[in-house]
Amino acid sequence: MLDIEKIRADFPILQEEVYPGVPLIFLDSAASSQKPTAVIEAMNHYYRTAHANVHRGIYRLSEEATNAYEGAREKVARFINARDTAEIIYVRNATEAFNLVAYSWGEANIHPGDEILLTEMEHHANLVPWHLLVERKGATIKYVPFDENGMLDLSTLGELLTERTKIFSFTAVSNVFGTINPVRQLVDAAHAVGAVAMVDAAQAVPHMAVDVQDWDCDFLAFSSHKMCGPTGIGILYGKRAQLEAMPPFMGGGDMIQRVTLAGSTWNELPWKFEAGTPSIAEGIGLGTAVDYLTAIGMDAIHAHEQFITHYALEALSEVPGLKVWGPPIASQKAGVAAFTLEKVHPHDIAELLDKDGIAIRAGHHCAMPLHQKLGLNASARASFYLHTTTAEIDNLIISLNRVRKLFRL
């Protein structure tokens, strides 16, 4: 069991009051997690004592900044068990990672008549870049459906994956249902027809141990801001052979080896895909977040979230008129509970819960096709993390019952 009170003390914002006398209950970590003091201080230390551009200066500050920034890349590589740091590409967020692959790999490998396979539960970040690609290339997209419990219908894979499939890009964990998908099984199915496999791990890497070699995926994307790190930086992992074969995504400083008026040649990996001055402080912050999560232990974090999710599902099931969407069993999902309450719009639920200091998300959660299939315009979503307590869940239930009373349900 985690020492939750000790962990909560690491997050300054959790000591704040939303309104006078109303403490914050933060249940929106799936959108963006809060930051521990260690991450905040690491970024402040860089700006106060070691700010300089990386890779360029032959002086102490620049070398110190470079070592910290590249050291963070090494930490990330170990965290997801990449073979080497050259397979770790800094991007702004997971969305940019998908766009990078769609433009760089996609432009070179997708042709008219080719097929891309996605799922119906994808975040827009893993939909829109592929929509743009097929418009340019004359390819088509197919989708693995989900069933009434928010689980992928794997019986359809045999007909959806064909010799025309060039890439299968899917989420490891649904940001709406919380569904934990069988990543290795899906990767193997893609490879069996000669397709490339890309994994959206934005909701997986912060919450459970992820091993890219065990998954054998060709590409993987995740964001720093969902794993106790800062905004403005994320990671694209790619197998070295795939990345070596891909052309650069953007041009400019740092991604070049040599420039003449006649043309340019490219830097080696990983810098071939990192044009311009990077997010240095954010990279250092991400590395510190990796240290923080590693010290606690990803297995322990996952176990705590499973406990909290089970507790929340049991409690929510006792609220009359409330429906939780997605797998009904905590072991099948991560720390997410998307729900609707009859006759009450999710935006009204979120606004009223805020008066009790409870922060949840309301809307389509960047997954409009998923909601359209469910016949919903929006849902409310409570999401949990390593600092969530059963008392916070109890307060959520009390507030939801106040909502019911206010709407005379």
Quote the CA–CA distance of 199 and 163 in Å, as a whole number. Answer: 20
Strand partners of residue 339 = 324, 380
**Beta-bridge partner residues of 28:** 383
Q: Rounded to 5 degrees, what angle do the CA atoms 307, 311, 314 make? A: 140
Decide if 366 is catalytic.
yes
Nearest to 198 by CA among 216, 182, 219: 219
Give the orientation angle of helix 280-296 with respect to helix 298-316, to 10 degrees.
80
Which segments within 172-304 are labelled E, that is strand?
Answer: 196-200, 219-223, 234-238, 256-260, 263-266
Distance of alpha carbon 249 from alpha carbon 274, whole angstroms? 8
Q: Which of 16, 67, 129 is nearest to 283 (CA)?
A: 67
Query: What is the gyration radius of the CA atoms in the chain, in angstroms?
Result: 22
The C-alpha torsion from 360 through 13 and 204 to 109, rounded to 10°, is 90
Catalytic residue chosen out of the listed positions 298, 359, 366, 409 = 366
Q: Which of 297, 387, 360, 278 is nearest to 35 (CA)?
A: 387
Q: On the CB side of 373, how many CA atoms lie within 13 Å of its CA?
A: 18
The catalytic residue positions are 366
